[in-house]
Amino acid sequence: MPLPTHPLRDHACLIVHGPDQPGLVAAVTALIARTGGNIVTLDQYSSDPEGGNFFQRVVFHLPDLSAKFPAVEADLQETLEPLGMSWKLTDQSVPKRMAILASTSDHCLLELLWRHRRGELNVTVPMVISNHTSVAEDVRSFGIPFFHVPSQGPDKSEAEARILELVRDNADFIVLARYMQIISEDFLEKVGVPVINIHHSFLPAFVGATPYRKAKERGVKLIGATSHYVTKDLDEGPIIEQDVARVNHAMSAADLQARGAYVERAVLARAVQWHADDRVIRDGNQTIVFSDSP
């Protein structure tokens, strides 16, 4: 976990990925050098030195970044396009906007709001949306807007339309902090920003509903939690982070759930932090995570 004092003035983050080829790191770092930038962190990964894919994240310090930003982008375009590389440059002093969807459970939600208040997540939180009202007061005590969007009955389209209306153009990514509604493929397409979920099991074990009850029935000795990007295939999206806790025979399914809550909130918080810091690159159904945690 990084825990710098966000926002990071005059720090840019550059993500580059595409077909590996000799000279890529040199090309990118030379570009940064000629802008006058100083590299703070560089992470690089090649799936195979011969014929694989290349992934790079580099953070550099560039005085007067915002004024120079367009010029750096133009230079990147000119340098990297001929090489067939994808890239994205972000100004780390501009936090991402994170909308949160929740239901009645408060543990993941409050953990995010509290870490945000401590300045440990480089995000703003424009809103929390819930299909219940039980967390409204807690959310507002953090000075954050709360919206109640009920979602009853089998047809979720009205609720999803209302959520879309709220988040569109107001969020750079969405976090499902134990939001107990299934998100439709249609919603995912329309919303157009990454959606991060926390699943209360060590995926791919115990997909679907009531994983703690299933874990109890199987007699496992560890329970887990998994944070992943949401795709149209339920519980099948790219995994960002996972962790486990030890349990034993004497614990009921309710005990597993209570203990699991602590794993869930830690796992989701790390996933959100890494996403917010542009440390996660999606590669098909997997992720490259340039984590700063040891």
Q: Residues 81 to 100: which contact its own copies by CB under 8 A? A: none
- For the chain, the DSSP string reads -----SS-TTEEEEEEEEE--TTHHHHHHHHHHHHT-EEEEEEEEES-TTT-EEEEEEEEE-TTHHHHHHHHHHHHHHHHGGGT-EEEEEETTSPEEEEEEE-S--HHHHHHHHHHHTT-SSEE---EEESSSTTHHHHHHTT--EEE----SS--HHHHHHHHHHHTTT-SEEEEES--SPPPHHHHHHH-S-EEEEESS-TTTT-SS-HHHHHHHHT-SEEEEEEEE--SSTT-SPEEEEEEEE--TT--HHHHHHHHHHHHHHHHHHHHHHHHTT-EEEETTEEEE-----
Nearer to its own copies, 37 or 95 (CB): 37
| Selection from 219, 155, 167, 217 nearest residue 191 by Cα | 167
Q: Does 147 bind its own copies (CB under 8 A)?
A: no
Q: How far is the CB of 217 from its own copies (least distance, A)?
A: 8
Q: How far is the CB of 2 from its own copies (least distance, A)?
A: 7
In this chain, which of 7, 38, 78, 185 binds its own copies, going by CB under 8 A?
38
Catalytic residue among 75, 235, 243, 292: 235
In this chain, which of 15, 24, 98, 113 binds its own copies, going by CB under 8 A?
24
Query: Which residues sit opposite 148 in a β-bridge?
Result: 130
The answer to whether residue 20 is catalytic is no
Q: Does 250 bind its own copies (CB under 8 A)?
A: yes
Q: Does 235 bind its own copies (CB under 8 A)?
A: no
Q: Does 3 bind its own copies (CB under 8 A)?
A: yes
Q: How far is the CB of 108 from its own copies (least distance, A)?
A: 12
Binding mask of the shown chain, residues 104 to 143, with x at each position contacting its own copies by CB under 8 A: ---x--x---x---x-x--------------------x--
On whether the CB atoms of residues 272 and 252 are closer than 8 A, the answer is no
Q: How far is the CB of 112 from its own copies (least distance, A)?
A: 13
Q: Does 292 bind its own copies (CB under 8 A)?
A: yes
Nearer to its own copies, 149 or 272 (CB): 272
Nearer to its own copies, 151 or 287 (CB): 287
Query: Which range touches its own copies (CB under 8 A), out of 84-92, 146-154, 189-197, 245-253?
Result: 245-253
Q: How far is the CB of 240 from its own copies (least distance, A)?
A: 8
Token readout for 151 is 């979602």
Q: Does 248 bind its own copies (CB under 8 A)?
A: yes
Nearer to its own copies, 28 or 99 (CB): 28
Active site residues: 235
